[in-house]
Amino acid sequence: MPPSDLPAPIALVTGAAKRLGRAIALGLARAGADVAIHYHLSAENAGTLAEEIRALGRRAWLFPADLSGDEAAIHLAGSVHEIAGPIDILINNASLYPEDRLNDLSETALLQNVRVNAWAPFALARAMAAQGRPGNVVNFLDTRMRDYDARHVAYHLSKRMLFSMTRMMALEFAPRVRVNAIAPGLVLPPPGKTESYLSELAPTNPLNTHGDADDVVRAVRFLIESPFITGQVIYVDGGRHMLGGLYD
Protein backbone atom coordinates (compact mmCIF):
# COMPACT_ATOMS: atom_id res chain seq x y z
CA MET A 1 0.00 0.00 0.00
CA PRO A 2 1.20 3.58 -0.64
CA PRO A 3 2.53 5.91 2.07
CA SER A 4 -0.12 7.70 4.08
CA ASP A 5 0.54 11.02 2.31
CA LEU A 6 -0.71 9.58 -0.99
CA PRO A 7 -4.39 9.15 -1.93
CA ALA A 8 -5.93 5.87 -0.81
CA PRO A 9 -5.89 3.27 -3.59
CA ILE A 10 -9.23 2.10 -4.92
CA ALA A 11 -9.67 -1.67 -4.91
CA LEU A 12 -12.37 -3.44 -6.90
CA VAL A 13 -13.14 -6.85 -5.39
CA THR A 14 -15.50 -9.03 -7.39
CA GLY A 15 -17.70 -11.44 -5.47
CA ALA A 16 -16.91 -9.44 -2.37
CA ALA A 17 -20.08 -10.00 -0.36
CA LYS A 18 -19.21 -13.42 1.08
CA ARG A 19 -16.45 -15.85 1.96
CA LEU A 20 -12.96 -15.09 0.60
CA GLY A 21 -14.12 -11.98 -1.23
CA ARG A 22 -15.42 -10.48 1.98
CA ALA A 23 -12.22 -11.30 3.89
CA ILE A 24 -10.09 -9.77 1.14
CA ALA A 25 -12.20 -6.60 0.96
CA LEU A 26 -11.88 -6.10 4.72
CA GLY A 27 -8.17 -6.91 4.63
CA LEU A 28 -7.54 -4.31 1.94
CA ALA A 29 -9.62 -1.73 3.83
CA ARG A 30 -7.61 -2.35 6.98
CA ALA A 31 -4.46 -1.83 4.93
CA GLY A 32 -5.70 1.59 3.78
CA ALA A 33 -7.64 0.98 0.56
CA ASP A 34 -11.08 2.22 -0.39
CA VAL A 35 -13.18 -0.64 -1.74
CA ALA A 36 -15.58 -1.03 -4.66
CA ILE A 37 -17.74 -4.00 -3.66
CA HIS A 38 -19.05 -6.08 -6.53
CA TYR A 39 -21.83 -8.58 -5.86
CA HIS A 40 -24.50 -10.42 -7.79
CA LEU A 41 -27.35 -11.71 -5.61
CA SER A 42 -26.03 -11.02 -2.09
CA ALA A 43 -27.20 -7.43 -1.69
CA GLU A 44 -27.75 -7.66 2.07
CA ASN A 45 -24.30 -9.14 2.72
CA ALA A 46 -22.72 -6.53 0.46
CA GLY A 47 -24.44 -3.73 2.34
CA THR A 48 -23.23 -5.07 5.68
CA LEU A 49 -19.69 -5.30 4.31
CA ALA A 50 -19.84 -1.70 3.11
CA GLU A 51 -20.86 -0.59 6.61
CA GLU A 52 -17.94 -2.48 8.14
CA ILE A 53 -15.49 -0.91 5.71
CA ARG A 54 -16.82 2.58 6.40
CA ALA A 55 -16.52 1.90 10.12
CA LEU A 56 -12.79 1.38 9.48
CA GLY A 57 -12.60 4.91 8.11
CA ARG A 58 -12.45 3.88 4.46
CA ARG A 59 -14.84 4.56 1.60
CA ALA A 60 -16.98 1.79 0.12
CA TRP A 61 -19.27 1.60 -2.90
CA LEU A 62 -21.72 -1.08 -4.01
CA PHE A 63 -21.82 -2.38 -7.59
CA PRO A 64 -24.34 -5.12 -8.47
CA ALA A 65 -23.63 -7.04 -11.67
CA ASP A 66 -24.25 -10.47 -13.16
CA LEU A 67 -20.87 -11.19 -14.75
CA SER A 68 -22.37 -13.88 -16.96
CA GLY A 69 -24.27 -11.19 -18.83
CA ASP A 70 -23.16 -9.80 -22.18
CA GLU A 71 -20.49 -7.10 -21.65
CA ALA A 72 -21.33 -7.03 -17.91
CA ALA A 73 -17.68 -6.80 -16.91
CA ILE A 74 -17.09 -3.88 -19.27
CA HIS A 75 -20.07 -2.03 -17.82
CA LEU A 76 -18.88 -2.80 -14.27
CA ALA A 77 -15.43 -1.36 -14.97
CA GLY A 78 -16.99 1.78 -16.42
CA SER A 79 -19.33 2.23 -13.46
CA VAL A 80 -16.53 1.86 -10.93
CA HIS A 81 -14.35 4.35 -12.79
CA GLU A 82 -17.19 6.87 -13.04
CA ILE A 83 -18.42 6.62 -9.45
CA ALA A 84 -15.36 5.66 -7.38
CA GLY A 85 -12.48 6.67 -9.62
CA PRO A 86 -9.62 4.89 -11.40
CA ILE A 87 -9.03 1.33 -10.24
CA ASP A 88 -5.66 0.75 -8.56
CA ILE A 89 -6.19 -2.82 -7.34
CA LEU A 90 -8.34 -5.46 -9.03
CA ILE A 91 -9.19 -8.68 -7.20
CA ASN A 92 -10.90 -11.13 -9.57
CA ASN A 93 -12.52 -13.38 -6.99
CA ALA A 94 -16.07 -13.97 -8.32
CA SER A 95 -16.63 -17.39 -9.84
CA LEU A 96 -19.13 -20.12 -10.64
CA TYR A 97 -18.65 -23.62 -9.21
CA PRO A 98 -21.33 -25.93 -10.67
CA GLU A 99 -21.12 -29.70 -10.63
CA ASP A 100 -20.80 -31.38 -14.02
CA ARG A 101 -18.85 -34.23 -15.57
CA LEU A 102 -17.38 -34.54 -19.03
CA ASN A 103 -20.14 -36.90 -20.18
CA ASP A 104 -22.89 -34.42 -19.33
CA LEU A 105 -21.04 -31.15 -19.97
CA SER A 106 -23.13 -28.75 -22.06
CA GLU A 107 -21.98 -25.93 -24.29
CA THR A 108 -24.14 -23.52 -22.31
CA ALA A 109 -22.55 -24.49 -18.99
CA LEU A 110 -19.04 -24.28 -20.39
CA LEU A 111 -19.58 -20.86 -21.93
CA GLN A 112 -21.20 -19.53 -18.76
CA ASN A 113 -18.25 -20.67 -16.64
CA VAL A 114 -15.76 -19.24 -19.11
CA ARG A 115 -17.59 -15.92 -19.15
CA VAL A 116 -17.63 -15.52 -15.36
CA ASN A 117 -14.41 -17.30 -14.39
CA ALA A 118 -12.10 -16.23 -17.23
CA TRP A 119 -13.55 -13.62 -19.57
CA ALA A 120 -14.81 -11.24 -16.86
CA PRO A 121 -11.42 -11.15 -15.07
CA PHE A 122 -9.72 -10.46 -18.41
CA ALA A 123 -12.21 -7.76 -19.45
CA LEU A 124 -11.87 -6.00 -16.09
CA ALA A 125 -8.07 -6.20 -16.18
CA ARG A 126 -7.96 -4.92 -19.75
CA ALA A 127 -10.15 -1.96 -18.80
CA MET A 128 -7.86 -1.28 -15.86
CA ALA A 129 -4.78 -1.40 -18.09
CA ALA A 130 -6.47 1.03 -20.49
CA GLN A 131 -6.47 3.65 -17.72
CA GLY A 132 -2.78 4.17 -18.50
CA ARG A 133 -1.70 4.19 -14.88
CA PRO A 134 0.01 1.75 -12.49
CA GLY A 135 -2.14 -1.05 -11.15
CA ASN A 136 -2.26 -4.49 -9.58
CA VAL A 137 -4.39 -7.45 -10.64
CA VAL A 138 -4.79 -10.60 -8.52
CA ASN A 139 -6.75 -13.39 -10.19
CA PHE A 140 -8.21 -16.26 -8.20
CA LEU A 141 -7.48 -19.73 -9.48
CA ASP A 142 -7.82 -23.07 -7.68
CA THR A 143 -5.16 -25.56 -6.62
CA ARG A 144 -7.27 -28.28 -8.29
CA MET A 145 -6.47 -26.91 -11.73
CA ARG A 146 -3.07 -28.63 -11.47
CA ASP A 147 -4.82 -32.00 -11.33
CA TYR A 148 -8.21 -33.06 -12.68
CA ASP A 149 -11.45 -32.11 -10.95
CA ALA A 150 -13.73 -34.65 -12.62
CA ARG A 151 -16.88 -33.39 -10.87
CA HIS A 152 -16.51 -29.73 -11.92
CA VAL A 153 -15.37 -29.88 -15.53
CA ALA A 154 -16.62 -26.48 -16.75
CA TYR A 155 -15.14 -24.79 -13.67
CA HIS A 156 -11.89 -26.72 -14.06
CA LEU A 157 -11.48 -25.71 -17.71
CA SER A 158 -12.31 -22.06 -17.05
CA LYS A 159 -9.76 -21.80 -14.24
CA ARG A 160 -7.09 -23.31 -16.47
CA MET A 161 -7.95 -20.67 -19.04
CA LEU A 162 -7.59 -17.93 -16.42
CA PHE A 163 -4.20 -19.35 -15.47
CA SER A 164 -2.99 -18.97 -19.06
CA MET A 165 -4.53 -15.53 -19.35
CA THR A 166 -2.80 -14.43 -16.15
CA ARG A 167 0.59 -15.05 -17.74
CA MET A 168 -0.45 -13.44 -21.01
CA MET A 169 -1.78 -10.34 -19.26
CA ALA A 170 1.34 -10.07 -17.12
CA LEU A 171 3.35 -9.71 -20.33
CA GLU A 172 0.93 -7.58 -22.33
CA PHE A 173 0.00 -5.12 -19.56
CA ALA A 174 3.54 -4.59 -18.29
CA PRO A 175 5.21 -2.40 -17.22
CA ARG A 176 2.37 -0.36 -15.71
CA VAL A 177 0.13 -3.19 -14.52
CA ARG A 178 1.29 -6.28 -12.63
CA VAL A 179 -0.84 -9.41 -12.93
CA ASN A 180 -0.53 -12.32 -10.50
CA ALA A 181 -2.77 -15.06 -9.15
CA ILE A 182 -3.58 -17.03 -6.02
CA ALA A 183 -4.70 -20.66 -6.04
CA PRO A 184 -6.32 -21.56 -2.71
CA GLY A 185 -6.75 -25.06 -1.39
CA LEU A 186 -8.27 -26.08 1.95
CA VAL A 187 -9.02 -22.67 3.43
CA LEU A 188 -12.83 -22.56 3.66
CA PRO A 189 -15.42 -25.36 3.76
CA PRO A 190 -17.82 -25.43 0.80
CA PRO A 191 -21.27 -23.91 1.40
CA GLY A 192 -23.27 -26.25 3.60
CA LYS A 193 -20.17 -27.87 5.11
CA THR A 194 -18.61 -27.24 8.54
CA GLU A 195 -15.02 -26.88 9.73
CA SER A 196 -14.93 -30.65 10.20
CA TYR A 197 -14.83 -30.93 6.40
CA LEU A 198 -11.45 -29.19 6.41
CA SER A 199 -10.14 -31.28 9.31
CA GLU A 200 -11.05 -34.53 7.58
CA LEU A 201 -9.18 -33.52 4.42
CA ALA A 202 -6.16 -32.00 6.17
CA PRO A 203 -4.02 -35.16 5.68
CA THR A 204 -4.34 -34.77 1.89
CA ASN A 205 -1.63 -32.10 1.78
CA PRO A 206 2.04 -32.20 2.90
CA LEU A 207 1.51 -29.80 5.83
CA ASN A 208 -1.22 -32.09 7.21
CA THR A 209 -3.44 -29.16 8.16
CA HIS A 210 -5.77 -26.61 6.63
CA GLY A 211 -5.59 -22.86 6.24
CA ASP A 212 -8.10 -20.07 6.63
CA ALA A 213 -9.15 -16.85 4.94
CA ASP A 214 -6.40 -14.87 6.66
CA ASP A 215 -3.78 -16.97 4.85
CA VAL A 216 -5.28 -15.86 1.55
CA VAL A 217 -5.51 -12.21 2.61
CA ARG A 218 -1.83 -12.23 3.54
CA ALA A 219 -0.96 -13.66 0.12
CA VAL A 220 -3.02 -10.96 -1.61
CA ARG A 221 -1.26 -8.22 0.31
CA PHE A 222 2.15 -9.77 -0.40
CA LEU A 223 1.52 -9.66 -4.15
CA ILE A 224 0.18 -6.12 -4.06
CA GLU A 225 3.09 -4.89 -1.97
CA SER A 226 5.82 -6.62 -4.02
CA PRO A 227 6.65 -4.31 -6.95
CA PHE A 228 9.04 -6.72 -8.71
CA ILE A 229 6.66 -9.67 -8.99
CA THR A 230 4.37 -10.34 -11.94
CA GLY A 231 3.05 -13.41 -13.76
CA GLN A 232 3.25 -15.58 -10.64
CA VAL A 233 0.83 -17.95 -8.92
CA ILE A 234 0.91 -18.44 -5.15
CA TYR A 235 -0.61 -21.77 -4.06
CA VAL A 236 -2.18 -21.29 -0.63
CA ASP A 237 -2.86 -24.99 -0.25
CA GLY A 238 -0.41 -26.59 2.19
CA GLY A 239 1.56 -27.96 -0.75
CA ARG A 240 -1.34 -29.98 -2.22
CA HIS A 241 -0.57 -28.89 -5.80
CA MET A 242 2.73 -30.82 -5.74
CA LEU A 243 1.07 -34.20 -5.19
CA GLY A 244 -1.02 -34.53 -8.34
CA GLY A 245 -4.01 -36.81 -8.70
CA LEU A 246 -7.68 -37.00 -9.50
CA TYR A 247 -10.40 -35.16 -7.59
CA ASP A 248 -13.52 -37.29 -7.88
The residue type of 171 is L
In single-letter form, the type of residue at position 84 comes to: A
**Angstrom distance (rounded) from CA 41 to CA 63:** 11
32: which residues sit within 8 A by CB, 6+ positions away? 1, 2, 4, 8, 9, 58
Query: What is the Rg, in whole angstroms, of the alpha carbon atoms belonging to the chain?
Result: 17
Helix (H, G, I), strand (E, B) or coil at 67: coil
155 in catalytic set: yes
Residue 48 CB neighbours (<10 A)? 13
Q: Which is catalytic among the residues 39, 148, 155, 247? A: 155
Q: Do 79 and 63 touch, CB atoms closer than 8 A?
A: yes
Listed in sequence order, the residues at least 6 apart from 205 whose beta carbon sits closer than 8 Å to its beta carbon are 185, 186, 237, 238, 239, 240, 243
Sequence-ordered list of residues with C-beta below 8 angstroms from that of 97, at least 6 positions apart, any chain: 152, 155
Tell me the catalytic residues.
155
